[in-house]
Amino acid sequence: MEQYLPQCMETVLNQTYTNLEIIAVDDGSTDGSLAMLQEYAAHDPRVRVIHKENGGLISAREVAIEQATGEYIAFCDPDDWVDLDFYAQLVEALEQNEADVAIGHCVLEFEDSTENVLWEHKDCVMDQRTAMLYLLSRASTAALWDKVYRTDLIKGIILPQYVTVGEDFMRNWYIFLRAQRFAYTPVCGYHYRYREDSMSKACDKIDYPHTKTCVFDILAKESPLNDEKLRAAFWHRSMRSMIKDAYKLIQSSQKVSNEPHTRQMQTTIRQNLSRLLTTASMPLYYKVMACIMATPYTICGWLSSLITLGWVVKKRVKYITE
């Protein structure tokens, strides 16, 4: 992260919203990131550096959340950067609408191009149910880093440390269940650097506890939904994740240890196949993959090995695909 950190820190330090407490967590880095952060802290009293042994993204974020003293909280990954007025615009949306969460959006930064991600084109205020439907129906709503939250909504939310995929969605799920009012503003001010080597893209050694299906299994048990439309949206999103994860597990180098979980996913996909195929909003690609994943385990492995495109098309997947 050393090569990206200066751009990230400079854009945060120079925000037009200056009343900032910048908590920089060094999660056991082995490059020059810690020294760089300490240099920033020496020149700007708003910067606090926390050094800890490597524990992963969840533990790093939870250390920062525990230490945060401000009324609001936002997240920024060290390989990304933000427009200089981004947080000012989100805080304004939060305060003017007396909201619990302010939602902006991002610019996808590919090596050779950029792409703005928006799911609405005008300011709007949502109640909890509407925001939950957006969270379930649009993957671009799941990120933590394009939002500003009231800090008291986040405090006390502790996630399983083994979750490495779907952590943003899971934390947002619990936050959204606590929040009542959401303000959206169509500002693409967070720049998400799309890197092929990033943690969220690595799946060669994936196993069940590190899948989004695992996250949905946990949420289904802990947060049963009484609203029929929310249940349908939850089913839709979880089945798409399961189809994707079943493919990854059967392709993983750990396929032997994954086999029981893969077979269980296949059973669930078979049981839901008719509904999957008749759901108009389910993309054709997922329907085709569901048919493949529903075949017997050995045949499924053989068929999936023929899928050369997998879940990445031209090495560039739009953030809104999932």
Of the two residues 198 and 59, the one the predictor is more confident about is 59
Going from the N-terminus, what domains does the chain have, and what CATH number goes with each? Answer: 5-199 (3.90.550.10), 203-304 (no CATH)
Q: Tell me how far apart the alpha carbons of residues 285 and 300 are, in angstroms, rounded to a whole number.
A: 16
Helix (H, G, I), strand (E, B) or coil at 313: coil
Q: pTM, whole model, 2 decimals?
A: 0.88
pLDDT single digits (tens) 17-70: 999 999 999 988 888 899 999 999 999 999 999 998 888 888 899 999 999 999
Question: What would the mean pLDDT of 142-162 be, rounded to a whole number?
Answer: 92
Which amino acid, 274? S
Say what percent of the chain tops pLDDT 70: 91
Determine the Cα angle at 293 with ends 290 and 294, to 5°.
85
Please classify residue 94 by burial: count the beta carbons closer than 10 Å to its beta carbon, then call 0-12 exposed, 13-18 middle and 19+ buried: buried
Q: In one letter, which amino acid is 181?
A: R
> How confident is the model over 181-194, as pLDDT tens digits?
999 999 999 999 88
Would the pLDDT of 150 be above 90?
yes
In the prediction, which pLDDT does 1 show? 73
Overall average pLDDT of the 88-99 stretch: 97
Average model confidence (pLDDT) across the chain: 88
Instruction: Give me the amino acid identity at 199.
Output: M
The stretches of the chain forming alpha helices (DSSP H) are 5-13, 33-43, 57-67, 86-96, 128-137, 151-154, 167-178, 212-222, 228-251, 255-271, 273-278, 284-293, 297-304
Q: What is the pLDDT of residue 204?
A: 61
Give the pLDDT band (50/70/90) at residue 73: very high
Q: Which pLDDT score is estimated for 258?
A: 87
pLDDT surpassing 80 at residue 316: no
Neighbour-count burial for 60-81, b at 16+ CB within 10 Å, e otherwise:
bbbbbbeebeeebbbbbbbbbb
Q: What is the pLDDT of residue 313?
A: 45
- Does residue 123 or residue 201 have the better pLDDT? 123
> Which whole number is the average pLDDT over 70-75?
96
Residue 137: per-residue pLDDT: 85
Where does residue 194 fall: left (phi above 0), alpha (psi -120 to 50 degrees), or beta otherwise?
beta
Give residue 80's pLDDT.
Answer: 95
Contact at 8 Å (CB) between 286 and 276?
yes
* Predicted confidence (pLDDT) per residue in 269-314, tens digit: 999 999 999 999 999 999 999 999 999 998 888 887 776 444 444 4
Distances (CA, A) of 251 to 25, 205, 244: 34, 9, 11
Which comes out higher in pLDDT, residue 226 or 19? Answer: 19
Q: Report the alpha-carbon distance of residue 104 to residue 190 in Å, rounded.
A: 8
The confidence score (pLDDT) of residue 296 equals: 93
Burial pattern 168-195, b for ≥16 Cβ within 10 A else e, equals: bbbbbbbbbebbeebbbbebbbbbbbbe
